[in-house]
Amino acid sequence: MGRKVTLNRRQAVYYHNTGKRDLAIKSKIVAETILKENDEISAYVDGFTRLSKRIYSNLEGDTSFCEKESQKLIEVIVSSGYVNGTAVELPQPENPQKLKGEVHIKVLIAENGEVISAEAIKGVKELFDASIKVARMAKFKPFTLSRKPTKRSGVIVYDFPKIGEKK
């Protein structure tokens, strides 16, 4: 069934590109009907290129803008996992209450290595605000992808040991 949906979707785009709008719409209706009746097969349906996806989504209307839209650049954000080891500057948060535990801060890092945003995702809730504050001051090595500076996301882990305990 997934192949049938994929075939009808591709056929719809092909018919559109060859000027057979009525056949394109019929193929889309067949594909969408199969999907509605068998929602569990959506994982088995092949994807589209950006251009084909735009055309397919707008078959009933004007598709003249689709090619221009599909050529727009996509912002790439690379997921880097734990980023403590790539920090150039990693200030440590204060812990006046002497609490023990960890705080995980999800950060978005700009092309130049500065933190754009930070949010606490796990850990000792009483230490979230202090950890977020210093995470925003952290600096990282710039990251490149295909020789272009690239944004990335990652997680900073702050460890708050028990007093007298070494990190």
pLDDT tens per residue across span 117-159:
999 999 999 999 999 999 999 999 998 888 888 999 999 999 9
In whole angstroms, give the CA distance from residue 148 to residue 108: 17
Answer for the pair 66, 85: CB distance below 8 angstroms, yes or no: no
Q: Where in the chain is the domain with CATH 3.30.2420.10?
A: 77-160
In whole angstroms, give the CA distance from residue 104 to residue 148: 28
Torsion of CA 68, 73, 74, 79, to 10 degrees: 170
**pLDDT at residue 45, rounded to an integer:** 65
Answer for the pair 104, 135: CB distance below 8 angstroms, yes or no: no
Sign of the CA dihedral running 29, 33, 35, 39: positive
78-121 pLDDT, tens digit per residue, is: 888 999 999 999 999 998 888 999 999 999 999 999 999 999 99
Q: Which CATH architecture fits 77-160?
A: 2-Layer Sandwich (3.30)
**pLDDT-based confidence at 51, cuts 50/70/90?**
confident
**Residue range 44-71: mean pLDDT, rounded:** 76
In whole angstroms, give the CA distance from residue 87 to residue 12: 50
